[in-house]
Amino acid sequence: MRKRKPLERRTYGRRLIRNGVLCLLLALALWTVSGCPLPQAMALRRLERQMLLKPSTIVLETDDNENDGYALLLGVTEDHIHSFALRDGNGSLLLWERKGEEPTLVALPQPVRYQTDEAARSAPMLAAVDIPQEAASARLTMTMESESIHLQGELPEGWEERFHWKRTYSMDGVKEGNVFLFQLTYQEDEDSQAGHAENSHMKLSLAEDVQRGLIPYTLEFFDNSGQVILTQTHS
Amino acid sequence: MNKGYWLDTATKEIRFGPDRRRVRQELEDHILDRMEAAEARGLSGYEAEKAAVEAMGDPEPVARELGRLHQPWMGYLWRLSQVLLVVLALCIAANWTYFRDLWNNGPDWAPPEPPQDFPYVWQDLSLGETGGYRFTVPLMFWEQWDDGTWAGTVILQGSSWRFWERWDAGSILAARDDRGISYTCRNHSWESTGETPRFYYNAVQFSYTSSTAELRFSGIPDPGEIQWLELTIGDETVTISLEGGGTA
């Protein structure tokens, strides 16, 4: 008589549960090490919860394909305006105090791409929230100036331009729902000293300077006939 | 009908390969047992195989019954779970340096040592739960500077078991004390209503489930003047009572 192997009743339930639990644990570890990414809507609410903020109503959402994968969003609550930059399920949030009935000028947290005749460049975008209902167009004029730096002796050639730099920008707004968007564009050649100063100033300190009220600006709103209906000046 | 053909026909309806091979092996053992018995009765190898296969009966009804008993879906799911496990294990191996760094750079931050023999030290103050986070002050202390003024250090910790949404320690927007002096924060830079005191973040650290902010304010003539400090965190407030401090 052949020696038979003992009959083994093969059931998959227990093995499936064991493998499922192991898969969940490994997937959780991978998700954690990837920075716990979430879908855009959930990531946005998570950022608000992490900062102990009330959930905001989204008033603007940009296309992430046009902006290095970043989706830029603006949300409003009773007291604040939240400007989000979300990419790959994670992001950052800048908080702005809402002026109430008056329009509030905010900066989006990431530079936005725009096309020149020669190339694509990216620069900060500003937005006016709580705009007058009848506003058909808007213009923003702002002056940016580099902080004064005190140096001993004479500056090398070209450095004067770098350290003492002042430009006035005038931008026509693009209306998106109840928000006007203002795209800053560079005035200088990007390879010049002035271009470097402009680039670093725009990208590094613009949002903070606007937030701290350090940049003088004039925001004008026009109706359909081109008449000024509101002018907001910050000096 | 030979043994191989009978076995192939009887197991053809079992669609999940590992099940089919196992059942085939089991049936083959039965046939071999019968063949051994037949050979013991004096039959030749060919006759013994023929007799054993005939004794097993028609393979078609056996195939239908076995096919009904061995549904393939659980087997497919089990195989899928194995593939998933291997893929995930490979992903973990590919990201091993991240895991190692996460482990090595774990929650090794410790609050600064309080100055010894100073009368104003508070430890392990619980501030309760706000916005889904449990806030505590593991340590707060005053230290006197050379100019005679005092500087306060507050270690504020926000904890939650939700490791995927740790408290953002950069969300402290403002502070005020019971003397009416308020401090506002814009991008981690603090401004107070008066010339002094100054108030600022010194450091922000986090562990897997908590974030810690180290807040410092200086230029206080007498620490006994301040009874409480109220912090605005996002849309919420937490109050730190500074009464009843003791020596560390």
Q: A203-215 pLDDT, tens per residue?
A: 777 777 787 777 8
Q: Position A189: which residue type? A: D
Helix (H) or strand (E) holding B213: strand B210-220
| Together in a domain, A148 and A193 | yes
Answer whether B118's CB lies under 8 Å from B142's CB. yes
Average pLDDT, whole number, for chain A?
83
Maximum CA pair distance of chain B? 115
| Together in a domain, A180 and A71 | no
**Residue B120 structure tokens:** 């104003």
Helix (H) or strand (E) holding A96: strand A90-97
Which pLDDT value is given to residue A148? 46
Assigned domain for B206 exists: yes
Overall domain count for chain A: 2
Assigned domain for B225 exists: yes
Q: Give which of A228, A19, A166 is closest to B86, Cα–Cα.
A: A19
Q: Give which of B169, B187, B220 is closest to A207, Cα–Cα.
A: B187
Distance from CA of B18 to the nearest CA of A (A): 10
**Residue B70 structure tokens:** 């061995």
| Together in a domain, B24 and B71 | yes
Residue A11's CB is within 10 A of a number of other CB atoms, namely 10
| Together in a domain, B19 and B97 | yes
| Together in a domain, A59 and A108 | no
- The DSSP bridge partners found for residue B139 are B123, B155
**Contact across the interface for B85 and A53, Cβ inside 8 Å:** no
Rounded distance, CA A165 to CA B67, Å? 83
| Together in a domain, A70 and A105 | no
| Together in a domain, B85 and B158 | no
Of A66, A98, A130, the domain-final residue: A98
Q: Which residue has the tokens 């926000």?
A: B158
| Together in a domain, A224 and A118 | yes
| Together in a domain, A144 and A165 | yes
Of A23, A30, A208, the CB nearest to B95: A30
Average pLDDT estimate for A12-40: 89
Of B42, B73, B101, the domain-final residue: B101
Distance from CA of A67 to the nearest CA of B (A): 24
| Together in a domain, A200 and A219 | yes
Residue A113's CB is within 10 A of a number of other CB atoms, namely 14
Q: pLDDT digit of tens for each residue in chain B (248 aa)? A: 788 999 999 999 998 888 899 999 999 999 999 999 999 988 888 899 999 999 888 999 999 999 888 888 888 898 899 999 999 999 988 888 877 776 666 555 566 676 676 667 777 888 889 989 999 988 888 888 888 888 888 888 899 999 889 888 878 887 888 887 777 665 555 555 554 455 555 555 666 778 888 887 777 778 777 788 888 888 999 988 877 554 43
Average pLDDT estimate for A95-114: 86
Q: Give which of B153, B191, B151, B198 is closest to B173, Cα–Cα.
A: B191
Which pLDDT value is given to residue B196? 47
Cα A185 to chain centroid, rounded: 16
Of B26, B168, B187, the CB nearest to A51: B168
Which pLDDT value is given to residue A206? 78
| Together in a domain, B9 and B84 | yes
Rounded distance, CA A113 to CA A183, Å? 9
Distance from CA of B133 to the nearest CA of A (A): 9
Assigned domain for A200 exists: yes
Of A8, A22, A208, the CB nearest to B85: A22
Residue of chain A whose alpha carbon sits nearest to that of B190: A212
Looking up residue B219, the CATH number of its domain turns out to be: 2.60.40
DSSP A5: P
Q: Which residue has the higher pLDDT, A138 or A193?
A: A138
- For the ranges A157-166, A190-199, B231-240, which has the lowest average pLDDT? A157-166
Answer whether B232's CB lies under 8 Å from B188's CB. no
Say what percent of chain A tops pLDDT 70.
Answer: 86
**Contact across the interface for A36 and B33, Cβ inside 8 Å:** no
Contact status of B65 with chain A (Cβ, < 8 Å): no
Query: B83 is in which domain, residue-wise?
Result: 3-101
Q: Which residue has the higher pLDDT, A64 or B159?
A: B159
- For the ranges A34-43, A147-156, B159-168, which has the lowest average pLDDT? A147-156
| Together in a domain, B76 and B133 | no
Residue of chain B whose alpha carbon sits nearest to that of A47: B165
Rounded distance, CA B39 to CA B44, Å? 6
| Together in a domain, A49 and A87 | yes
Residue B124's CB is within 10 A of a number of other CB atoms, namely 8
According to DSSP, the β-strands at B198-206 and B210-220 are antiparallel
Assigned domain for B107 exists: no
Assigned domain for B110 exists: no
Query: A84 is in which domain, residue-wise?
Result: 36-98
- B71 φ, ψ (degrees, to nearest 5): -65, 140
Average pLDDT estimate for A123-140: 92
Residue A223's CB is within 10 A of a number of other CB atoms, namely 14
- The DSSP bridge partners found for residue A92 are A85
Rounded distance, CA A38 to CA B111, Å? 32
Residue A6: pLDDT band (50, 70, 90) is low
